[in-house]
Structures are given as C-alpha cells and as structure tokens.
Structure 1
C-alpha cells in the first residue's frame, strides 16, 4: 500500500512522516516531541472572564466541570455535567397525557404513517416529550469570602493556565490584595474534580469553599440553549442534606430532585481534616448552600468532590492528581499526532493550535461510554442536553482515524444496541421492518423527540454501516463482524423496507415526506434526495458484504433494493439536491444557501456505484462558486476540506481548513458554529469534524496515494504525523 506521496520515511516505530515543501524536496526525520508541541498551546487567560466566555474544563468524557477565573464556579455558575444525570419535568397541567401522543399522521405512498412531529392538539404533551428527560447541573462549587459568595469585583490580577499535557488548570488572583492559588484537576477513572487551594485567607477563616445546588428550569416552552444549566428559584422543589456520620476524611451530600437523586462524595487528607456544614443564613438563595472549612488552622484546603448515583468514599486528592497527570500524558502519547511546527506557512501555527486544543476538548466532552455527546458537549445544554443521531459520524469518527480506537469502541456498537429495542418498536409502529433510528434522543428512553424536522430526517439511518466499517477497518476480524451483526441487520432491514417500489419508473424511491441533510427542502415534495439515495446504496452494500464475510445468506430484498434504487437526480449534468428540480434551483436562496449534501457525495461518503465521480467533481466546482464564505457555517468547512482533498484540489482543501476570518475558534480552542440560531459555543461537531478533516488531509482515505494528500505542494507546509489511520 502506497502511504507516501512525495518525500517521506517510515520511522523506527512504524510511524509515518511526510514532508510537504515548495518542491517536495524536504526530508523530515526524527520522532515528534509531542509534549513540546502540546505544551506550546497551553491556554493562558489574564482577564476576568464573563458570561459570554467559554469556560475551561476538566473531565473525562462522561463528566466535566467548567470553571471561571477562580478555577471554580465562584462568580459565574458554570456547569457540572455528566452523561448519567437526567431529570423529568412535571407533567402537563392542562390535562394532556403523555400517553395520548402517538405522532402525527402523514400520507406516505398511499397510507397514513405517524411521524414524530409535534401534535397541535397536544401542545403541552408534545413539548414535554421534546424537553424530557433533560440533562441536569450536578452542582456549583465556588469560593466564599467573608460570609458571602466571592464576587468578580473583589478579584484582581487574575491569571489562569490550562496545562494540556497534565490536564491541570492553575488559577492565581488576589482578593483584597491577598494572593489566592487554585489548582483544579479531573479524573479519568471517576466523575470527580480535585481542588488544591492556597491562601493566607484560608488560614484567617475569611476564604472558604461553598457548594450550591440548582433545580432544572421549567421547559414548558422552546428552550434550546442553556448556558447556565439550572436555576436557583425553586428551593422548595428539591432537597439536599448531609448524610451519614462525619468521617475523618469524608462527608456526603444527598441531593434529591423528584425521581432523580445522587450524592456528592467529598474527601480530603486525614491529616488536613475539613468540616462540612450547611449555611446558617435563612435566605431563600442559600437553602441548598453548604460550607467546607479546615478544622485546623491552615493556609491550604485540598479536597475531592465526587459526583455519583451512589454513596461512596472518593479517592484522595493526591492519588487522583497523580493519576490524572499520568493519564493525560498517556492520552497525548498514544494514538495519532500531527506536527506542523516546522512549516513556514503563516497559517500553520493557528492550524496547529486548533489541532491540539480540539484533541483536549473532545477527550473532556466527547468520550462518554455508550453514548454520543450533545452538540455542546458537557459544557452547557443545547437541545435539553440530548444528542443528535445524524451527527454521530461528525462527533465520533475521528477517534478511529486518530488511532484512538478505545474511545470509539467505548461508544459503538453499545449506543446502537441500547437504542435497538425502541428503534425496532418505532419502525414496527410505522409499518416498516427493522430498526428506524431516532433523530434527537438520549439513552435513558431512546425516544425520538418530536420535531417538524426530527420525525422526517433520513440520513442518520445508514450511519450504523459507516461506523461499523470504521470498526472493521481497525480490527478486521470475525469478532468485529459478529459484534455489529445485529445492528447492521436491523438497519438494513429497515432501509430495504422503507424504500418504495415505484411501478412507473421501476426504481425504489426514498420519500416523500422527507428532510435531507440541510433540513431546508419542502418535505412533502422531497423525493429521492441525492445524498440519501447514494448513502442508502452504500449502506445496503456494506450490509450485504457484512453477511457474506460472516458466511450468512444475504436477504434478497437488500440486493433488490440496493441494485434498483433511483439514481441520485441530475440536472444539466450536475447533481441536484432532490428529484424534480430544474436548473433554476441553483438560484433558489432556500437551497443554494447550504448545498453541503452535494459536496458530501464525493467527500465523507466512500466510493459507491451510486455516484459518478465526474459528475460529482463538476458539481463540487459549481458548489464552490455559489457556496461563498459568508454562507458556510457549522461543520461546513470540514466537509468542504474533505471533498476538496478527495477531488484532488489540495489548495482548496487547505483554504477551507484555514479560513480563519470566517471559521472561528475562540481563545480556548472551541469551534464556534456561526450562522443563524445564536448557538453559544462550544460546537463540538466543529472540533470533532475538524479533527476528522485533518486526518483525511494528512493520512488520506481508502484508495488515496501518497502522504498528506490534502496539503498543497507549495506554500511552506511541512507535515509530520504519527499513528493516524486512513479514512474510509
């Protein structure tokens, strides 16, 4: 297999290093000093952040804790979020029953099919299903000064640094002229955060730690984005209490919110004991506020806060600190790495910064076990904390191409297996076979949240085949085939059943009603979406190959549908978004404002007989004319970079990856979605999709030749990589 394009070498450890220079003549030797490259991009802040700033975080993918300038949640109530903490709002008050909701019928090829769409006759029940369950904030931990919460106005000379290699946030500042230092760390093995606070104000008793607990807001109306999750306005709706006897090195707070309950397990060194008490103030805002103070006079206060459904003894702060630093070092040392620091191109440094910081953020926000992250990760709640099934590729495929298969395998196929029973039931209730995967959901219920788009979106269905292929590429064994077989079978059964035989054309059609990738087509008229048709063919072909590798019989319906699907529609020799359009669609602002689905035909989608490469190439060039920089948002840049590399235009590929004036990553390295919607950062598909695009451009894809095929031969780029894998 040709891994090199231009000048390259295979390092002694099997890693691949490619040099991309103005004349492809620069040799690059030697192992990458990963720690030096990573540490170069430590995040440093010297101003007090405000509520429009993305907080720095510590965490492990299942759990994350976001901090303000104090290294805690002192003057800004940032969130402590987990993959397991969810809550249900009160039921509708107008007499509507959730059980009365059965979807909304739409005529589908001669029969009524009930789709997951809000029912106008059951508005409260529909909204309840959209909003529930919702992810909760487990609690706020901050500093208290002279008997009240420390305010931003009392803080001067702040400095905060995120040490990426160690996974440590160090915050220094002054309070009334006295130094305070807070070191904050997470834990890969438990949902814990460790604090080490040093100040003379601790010894004087003026500075202490406080813990407070919010209650979920009422989601009776559309509540898309919660920057600060939870409110402190309903103290009587929930209870908190110190449980168990005081231990010399631990204490426990029990929090109960309706049917949701959990513990905050606090631990500290026995030689530096702390005392936990509830505030004595009787004010409403302090109903659920607790104080942690040293028993002995000391200028240091060190403790672990472990959040868990169970009461347990947390590991000591010192053991977690050591483990956290070791595990972060291992994370950076293992898997793939890209080094651009030898490049003379003026855009290389910012590209490297984004590569490094994105890897930190996906580890903290997107490495949960058995579930995909929500679009805002574990920083805040977007869409009530639920994740989107159509985005699982953009969130998680990078784990495979960056050689971090463990994190991929922690999620798949468990995510699909968890959702399989409800997805089979969904398909059956709609009159189809197999499993119809939801759009917006969570793993607690597996329900598909009602939505005008949610109920009609198609492109999440073949994702199971795409992810299975990534798994098989990493481990081409019978064990992998068997592990995914049930999911692949149920998915293909649905896809073959959903396709409708058009007796007039002889083809199998998809839709209507349907929504495509960009969610901007008229659903009642949307027939045979180009990308969805091609993806359907790819998915069914993967499923057929899967059965053959297992030595099993391929269901005849899969082959019949795959080989007789309607072709992706064309107009004047170019692909069109869906069937029935004429050439004027290129001037339709509803459609030309985001034609990414056509770019995806020869981008993220692997080669398939459904797509003519020459037509796809000409279509990509046409899209480049009309999809201008001011219109591109979200994960548009990664898909454009991938497409450009695939069609042999690395100059365009690197342009899209480095269009910094249009594609913003903030000072902490979080991708900003941009465009409409007012989505606050982070936008995790931006960071994760960016990493996937980088891997495409550096390591290539199945069938690509040479090294760094997405980087132009000129321009001062020197690309070194270790441990990346080719994409599909």
Structure 2
C-alpha cells in the first residue's frame, strides 16, 4: 500500500509507521451507513438491495408498501403493441443525409412514420417485475398509518433494517438481496404477524404504451389494464414451502418464485379470480397459515423460468459474506485523517458510490441505464457513449472481475447488429449504436442518436484497460475481433476531403456536448483526436498479436484532419474563429475540449501545450452554475493531468453545485429532466478519484491530483493507474 500524507504548509511526506498499516475499511464503511428517520415520498430516491443484474427498491418499510417502487432486472424487457395507425417498425428505413457526396440513411426520426419511429425509440422497454409490500387487516397500508419510522442501510453487510409502528404496534423488516441469484429476502417481525393483522401482498403491473410521456418512469408500470396480461400460480408445495407465480405479458413471461422455511408455513392466495377487471386483479396475499409465530421470512426470486429459490437463511448468510468480500477486495481510499472541512462529505460519497455501483452497474454483458436499476429513464435503455463513465472505474479500483463481466461481452452481443448497421449505410466494420437494448441492439432513432460519434472508439479505450490489468495473449485474442471491426468502421467512415487531402469526420455529426449544428458540423476536436487514438491503439493491438495491420488504418490515421484551432486554442469544431468563445450555446458546455487532455490518453493528435492553454480558457468561461452531469469528474481528471491538483480537488468537492442526496446518489442537475439517480455521476466520481489518488500513465509521485496543502491527508490501497 502507498500512503500519501499532505498537510497544510508541508511537503510530500511518506510516513513510515503508516506505510504498512492497512486501512480499517469496515470502520470507515460502517461509519457512513445511510440512516433515515422520516417517511420518504415519491421524490426521494429509495434505498436498494441487489447484485447488478437485479435490484429491489424500498420505501420506508423496507418493502414497496405505500410507494410502488420498482423491481428491475437486466433481463426483463417487453414490447408494446404495434402502432394503432397500421405503421410497422419494418417500414422504417432511416432518413437520408448527404455524407461525403452521397446519400446515407441515418437513424433519425422520420416525420412520415411518426408512430413507427416512436415505437422503435421506446421498444423494447424495461419492465417492473412486481411490487411486494405490507398489508394491515387485509388492506394496503398507507403512509398515514405508519409512525416512528427509522431505516438503516448497513453498507458493510448489504442489509436494510426498517423499524416503524402501525397503529402503535412495533414492526421490524430486514431486507437483503442475493449476489448469486435475482432474489430478495424479507424477515418481518411483529406481534401483528402473530395476530394475523399483518401480511404481505404481491402485485404485478403492466407496462403502459410508451409514448414520449413515459420517457421517464419513477414508478414503472400501471395497474389499469388487467386484461392485457395474466398471472397464475403454476406451482405450489406447502410441505416444501414453495410457490411460483407466472406473469405473462404478450411475448414476455417470467416467474416470481417464492420460498419460506417449511416449519414456518405460509399461505399464498390470489385476492381476486382470474379474469377480474379490477386494478387489483393481479394481487396476491402471503400470510402465516397459523398464529404460532411473531415473525415470517421468505425469499422472492425472479427468473425467466420456474425455479426453486434458496431458503431465506441461505441468502441471508451468503449476502453478508459477499458484501464483506466486496468491500475487502480491490481498491480503497481513505481521507478520514484530513483536517480539510470537505473531507467527510468526500469520504461519504466515496463509500456510498461504491455501494450503488455494485447494485446498479455490475450486470452480465450489459451497461446500466443512466438511472441504474432504480427507475426507467429513456425507456430503460442504456447509452453506449456512456459505457466508460459507467464502468471504467471497475478497472482502476482493482475490481477487474466486474469489468470483465461486462466487456467485451457487451460488444460481442451487439456486434452482429452493428456490422449490419454499418453495411446498410455503406461502410465497413461495426457501427456501434447510441441508445440501445441488449436484446435487439437497435439504435433508437433520434436527432442525436443517429449521428453521435464519440461512442465508436470506446472499445479501444476499454481494451487498453483490460490489457493493463491482464497483459496476456488471451486478452489480446479475446478483444481482437471487436477492435478489428471497430477500426474497420473508423477507417471506413472517415471521408477524404479532396481540397485538403485530409480525412474528415462529418457532417452530419454530433459531438460529446450535443450542442453544435449537426448538418454542418465537421471535424469535432475531441472526436478527431479520439479517432486517431482509436486507430493507433488498434494498430498496436495487431502488433502485439503479430498480425498484419491493414494499410487503410495506417493511411487514415496519418492523414486525419487535425483537431481544429482558433487563436492558438482548440475549437469545438472546424470553421470557428476566436469569437466562438462568446457563443453562450457552445461555452455553456465545452467539456469536449477538456477531454482532449482529460480522459483521453496521450495521442499524437493533441498538442499538450495547446490543450493546457485551452483548459485554462475553459476554466474561465465554464462557470459552476453551468456544469452538470459528469462534467465535474472530467474537470477533475483534466485538472490533475495538467498539474493543477487544487482545481482537481475543487471540482470533486463543489458540493453547492454538484449534489449527492442523503443516500449518496448523484443528481444530474441542469436541463436533463431525468429523475434521480444519475448513476454515471457516482461511477464517474469514482473514476475521477482513481485518477486523482492513484495516478495515470506517466504521472509522477503518489496521489498526484491531491493538493499538498489545504489539510488533505489520503491513504489508499489497491488502486490501478488510469490510462
């Protein structure tokens, strides 16, 4: 372990008696347990248990009693009914735009096929697997019936403990997830259980037709269409303590598999007969079959098929063990010895973010949607341009198994559709989608989605992180096809400009900040630099494998147009003069220029001196009130890399502007319109911390992004350098 002690007025000091001391991770993590003593409302982020592929979101009761929060997974998706006007998704073929002298069909909204376009945007959509809450004397409990609430999320053990009273009677609910399976376990303790006044209800919603009104769903699913779907108890074994409920939604079906200890028998009943038209038509009640005990426990397991889930005791034991193991493995950062007044909140964000990414960002072969497994934003689909911000932290925090669980499997899954997309547009290789799903890999039509560029070289960046962690031939071979087809597309897409002899990117094109005129934007500075980095990385990959490097890759790399400049500084795109710094639309979010010497590793396309001067100019015009989303992490990374640790730490601790809520979820802010959380904020924050504390390729000294004054003292262990 390396220890960096930085205190006001002193120089860098390695402290011998701390150099071999391990960080007391359990003490630090536990000191930031999330505690709530008020009833939450529908604008509060719920606490969660889960495993990355599955999450159960709870209200103040530790269940979904008075707020219908979601039970979401990486695998449960659904298609709405086809458009009512007879349009078919297959009628949609894109919208033409002139590109390098020819007509190319892009995934843009088609005004002549509005309903078909909307269907493709919103389908498939992620579904809510069901609601599980408490009942009192056979009726759903309202918030007005609950008093003296207290809820604690024990982060070290992954346990939510909720205590409250119902009509003056104590109730305690313990909620745990499972790392191995998509399951949640409840233990409910109260004399109201013994008197049969307290029970459990399960309810299954139906997805609405996803118009633009349902672009964001805090509560996914509705209960207004009971005849559009069916539920039934398909298996029940009272002696074994098991039951399964099948939910059929047109082409989608799955099971809620239940299990309880056989010696503590429960009874599952359907509240209404099949075929009921009531909004409660798909509601079930689970209650003790006798009045012998004041507690009940059961496992609710969700799966595409019927299974016998593990006993509650099995999940309860291994959940704690797995969470303990998670906190003990990989990297850790400790600012608790700092005298700086910002240190405690910084540490809270570090700890809670690590919990939230484990629950929301550790799916198999899949990146999370921006609101994780809490609610549906953009119909539950994930954004391919955000995969680095969501997932690169796994590598730099020494938790490589989570990174490898996602990559390159995500790209391999999307490769067939991406090859077909590029071919249909007249290019070679794989054109990766922007907003998509893991089932069909369709690029959802959209003004931005159709022409965004910066997601294309991401595989090269991610492959380098994988190789840095495991520099073996196996890594090279595993990523080779993905990188080959990515580079084939990058080289093929660039268009030769006959007047300059250089290869251009666009128009049409949209860049990182999505605030330039797409039909006239050529040679975005960051995208040009990233294209060059991608081709260079792909060529080096082939060298390591001992394979021939395609001539076109080398030719295009050497002849790409340079990142545009104006007045000795980088400009967002080609054709701008120095007056663009007065254009508030562009200066409202100039993060792409920060990224030239921020997240982007050193590349021949970027002049470090010009990039430094540009970063200093951006610092003058991109003021605190304009920075949102993942702007702070990229500013912190850039600041550290240009040798300004004070600015780096400022951006990480700009709490008045960059808000994390009481549970430690990042809030997007700005004009996004998306409900909290903003998971790239948490994941990007961790990635920036890794740069600032762990360093990057070519950085010198320990914790190069931490100021040597200001009362900062940092210990860290298990981090890996960023690229």
Pairwise TM-score range, normalised by the shorter structure:
over 0.9
Whether the 8 Å CA contact 1:20–1:26 is kept in 2: the answer is no
Partner of 2:698: 703
Alignment partner of 1:62 is 2:53: yes
Whether the 8 Å CA contact 2:396–2:690 is kept in 1: the answer is yes
Whether the 8 Å CA contact 1:62–1:83 is kept in 2: the answer is yes
1:382 offset after TM fit, Å?
Answer: 0.4
1:26 offset after TM fit, Å?
Answer: 6.3
Q: What does the per-residue CA deviation read over 1:593-615, in whole Å, with 9 as the maximum and x for residues that have no partner?
A: 00000000000000001000000
Whether the 8 Å CA contact 2:236–2:242 is kept in 1: the answer is no
Alignment partner of 1:691 is 2:677: no
Partner of 2:170: 179
Partner of 2:268: 276
Query: Could you say what secondary structure the match of 1:266 adopts?
Result: strand
1:222 offset after TM fit, Å?
Answer: 4.8
Q: What does the per-residue CA deviation read over 1:549-581, in whole Å, with 9 as the maximum and x for residues that have no partner?
A: 000000000000001100000000000000000
Partner of 1:721: 716
1:503 offset after TM fit, Å?
Answer: 1.6
Separation (CA, whole Å) in 1 of partners of 2:236 and 2:377: 39
Whether the 8 Å CA contact 1:20–1:708 is kept in 2: the answer is no
Query: Could you say what secondary structure the match of 1:524 adopts?
Result: coil
1:95 offset after TM fit, Å?
Answer: 1.4
Partner of 1:581: 576
Whether the 8 Å CA contact 2:3–2:14 is kept in 1: the answer is no
Q: What does the per-residue CA deviation read over 1:657-689, in whole Å, with 9 as the maximum and x for residues that have no partner?
A: 000000000000000000003211100000000
Partner of 2:366: 371
1:283 offset after TM fit, Å?
Answer: 7.2
Partner of 2:283: 289
Pick aligned residue for 2:145 from 154, 158, 166: 154
Alignment partner of 1:74 is 2:68: no
Partner of 1:92: 83
Q: What does the per-residue CA deviation read over 1:480-510, in whole Å, with 9 as the maximum and x for residues that have no partner?
A: 0000000000000000000011121111110
1:363 offset after TM fit, Å?
Answer: 0.1
Partner of 2:380: 385
Separation (CA, whole Å) in 2 of partners of 1:631 and 1:98: 39
Whether the 8 Å CA contact 2:434–2:443 is kept in 1: the answer is yes
Query: Could you say what secondary structure the match of 1:261 adopts?
Result: strand
Separation (CA, whole Å) in 2 of partners of 1:237 and 1:499: 48
Separation (CA, whole Å) in 2 of partners of 1:41 and 1:98: 49
Alignment partner of 1:634 is 2:626: no
Separation (CA, whole Å) in 1 of partners of 2:269 and 2:95: 52
Partner of 1:266: 258
Pick aligned residue for 2:665 from 666, 670, 673: 670
Partner of 2:108: 117
Whether the 8 Å CA contact 1:544–1:558 is kept in 2: the answer is yes
Deviates more, 1:20-29 or 1:193-202: 20-29
Partner of 1:19: 5
Alignment partner of 1:615 is 2:606: no
Partner of 2:349: 354
Separation (CA, whole Å) in 1 of partners of 2:628 and 2:211: 30
Aligned counterparts, 1:39-54, within 5 A: 39-54=30-45
Query: Could you say what secondary structure the match of 2:148 adopts?
Result: strand
Partner of 1:455: 450
Deviates more, 1:211-220 or 1:390-399: 211-220
Whether the 8 Å CA contact 1:700–1:710 is kept in 2: the answer is yes
Query: Could you say what secondary structure the match of 2:563 adopts?
Result: coil
Alignment partner of 1:234 is 2:225: yes
Aligned counterparts, 1:101-140, within 5 A: 101-140=92-131
Alignment partner of 1:420 is 2:412: no
1:243 offset after TM fit, Å?
Answer: 1.0
Separation (CA, whole Å) in 1 of partners of 2:145 and 2:621: 52
Separation (CA, whole Å) in 2 of partners of 1:600 and 1:618: 13
1:223 offset after TM fit, Å?
Answer: 2.7
Over 3 Å off, 4+ runs: 280-283
Aligned residues: 714
Query: Could you say what secondary structure the match of 2:279 adopts?
Result: helix
Partner of 1:11: none
Q: Normalised by the size of structure 2, how large is the TM-score?
A: 0.98
Query: Could you say what secondary structure the match of 1:141 adopts?
Result: strand
Query: Could you say what secondary structure the match of 2:220 adopts?
Result: coil
Separation (CA, whole Å) in 1 of partners of 2:442 and 2:181: 28
Separation (CA, whole Å) in 2 of partners of 1:373 and 1:365: 7
Separation (CA, whole Å) in 2 of partners of 1:666 and 1:200: 35
Separation (CA, whole Å) in 2 of partners of 1:385 and 1:46: 31
Query: Could you say what secondary structure the match of 1:277 adopts?
Result: strand
Partner of 1:407: 402
Alignment partner of 1:168 is 2:162: no
| RMSD, matched Cα | 0.9
Partner of 2:551: 556
Query: Could you say what secondary structure the match of 2:244 adopts?
Result: strand
Separation (CA, whole Å) in 2 of partners of 1:361 and 1:605: 26
Alignment partner of 1:479 is 2:474: yes
Partner of 1:518: 513
Partner of 1:257: 249
Whether the 8 Å CA contact 2:225–2:279 is kept in 1: the answer is no
Q: What does the per-residue CA deviation read over 1:385-425, in whole Å, with 9 as the maximum and x for residues that have no partner?
A: 00000000000000000000000000000000000000000
Partner of 1:332: 327
Partner of 2:202: 211
Whether the 8 Å CA contact 1:124–1:220 is kept in 2: the answer is no
Whether the 8 Å CA contact 2:157–2:320 is kept in 1: the answer is yes
1:220 offset after TM fit, Å?
Answer: 3.0
1:107 offset after TM fit, Å?
Answer: 0.7
1:524 offset after TM fit, Å?
Answer: 1.1
1:244 offset after TM fit, Å?
Answer: 2.1
Whether the 8 Å CA contact 1:57–1:66 is kept in 2: the answer is yes
Alignment partner of 1:345 is 2:343: no
Partner of 2:534: 539
Query: Could you say what secondary structure the match of 1:269 adopts?
Result: coil
Q: Which ranges in structure 1 are unaligned for 5 or more consecutive residues?
A: 1-14
Query: Could you say what secondary structure the match of 1:541 adopts?
Result: helix
Q: What does the per-residue CA deviation read over 1:22-50, in whole Å, with 9 as the maximum and x for residues that have no partner?
A: 21346234110100000000000000000
1:436 offset after TM fit, Å?
Answer: 0.3
Separation (CA, whole Å) in 1 of partners of 2:519 and 2:146: 58
Separation (CA, whole Å) in 1 of partners of 2:90 and 2:533: 37
Query: Could you say what secondary structure the match of 1:710 adopts?
Result: coil
Query: Could you say what secondary structure the match of 2:65 adopts?
Result: coil
Deviates more, 1:21-30 or 1:414-423: 21-30
Separation (CA, whole Å) in 2 of partners of 1:505 and 1:150: 71
